[in-house]
């Protein structure tokens, strides 16, 4: 898998990464100058960033597991799914690879973080049923790890979250 960009009208398709390693789950910075993405080398995955012209690739994480990156609105941090040795949790890290901070800490798998437009909260998906039950719910949490709120109920599997354009929360 590789990362490509394309204009909204379907023209200008451009390949950004080109290698034998899987690069996927891209996330644009708000400025549109960089893309964060997951790179899986067959053993583990990490978060990388790259300029939209394909230059300036930079490894951000070097831990066991880094999936689903999401740029903060300020562009100076990335939220992502990582592993704490037991399950998937939400982390943030500076775009220079320093200041890694664990946001969630529980016995459930937390995935797919998405920063709010204000940058004050992160929405994410939690697997409350374990690997076999697939009981997914949406939560939000402050970027300091406090104030967790469940947004969806247990009526259907709610797997992915996004804040929508321009809503400041």
pLDDT in tens, the chain (169 residues): 999 999 999 999 999 999 988 999 999 999 999 999 999 987 889 999 999 999 999 999 988 678 999 999 999 999 999 987 888 999 999 999 999 999 999 988 998 999 999 999 999 998 866 555 567 888 999 999 999 998 887 655 555 566 554 434 4
Tokens 């204000």 sit at which residue? 118
CA 103/CA 79 separation, integer angstroms: 9
pLDDT at 103: 97
DSSP 73: T
DSSP 132: H
CA 71/CA 165 separation, integer angstroms: 15
pLDDT at 63: 80
Tokens 């950004």 sit at which residue? 16
Reported as type and span, the H/E element at residue 53 is none
pLDDT at 9: 96
pLDDT at 42: 78
Report the SS3 class of residue 114.
Answer: strand
pLDDT at 168: 40
Residues written for the chain: 169
DSSP string, 29-58: -TTSSEEEEEEE-SS-EEEEEEETTS---E
Which of 3.40.630.10, 2.120.10.30, 3.30.930.10, 2.40.110.10 would CATH assign to domain 4-150?
2.120.10.30
């Amino acid at each position: 898998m590789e990362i490509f960009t394309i204009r909204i009208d379907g023209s200008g398709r451009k390949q950004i990464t080109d290698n034998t390693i899987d690069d996927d789950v891209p996330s644009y910075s708000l400025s549109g100058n960089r893309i964060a993405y997951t790179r899986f080398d067959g053993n583990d995955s990490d978060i990388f960033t790259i300029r939209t012209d394909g230059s300036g690739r930079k490894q951000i994480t070097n831990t066991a597991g880094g999936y689903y990156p999401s740029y903060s609105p300020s562009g100076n941090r990335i939220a992502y799914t990582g592993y704490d040795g037991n399950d998937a949790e939400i982390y943030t890290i500076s775009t220079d690879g320093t200041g890694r901070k664990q946001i969630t800490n529980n016995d459930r798998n937390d995935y797919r973080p998405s920063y709010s437009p204000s940058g004050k909260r992160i929405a994410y998906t939690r697997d409350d049923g374990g690997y076999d039950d697939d009981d997914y719910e949406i939560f939000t949490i402050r970027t300091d790890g406090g104030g967790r709120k469940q947004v969806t109920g247990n009526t259907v599997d709610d797997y992915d979250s996004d804040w929508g354009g321009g809503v400041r929360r």
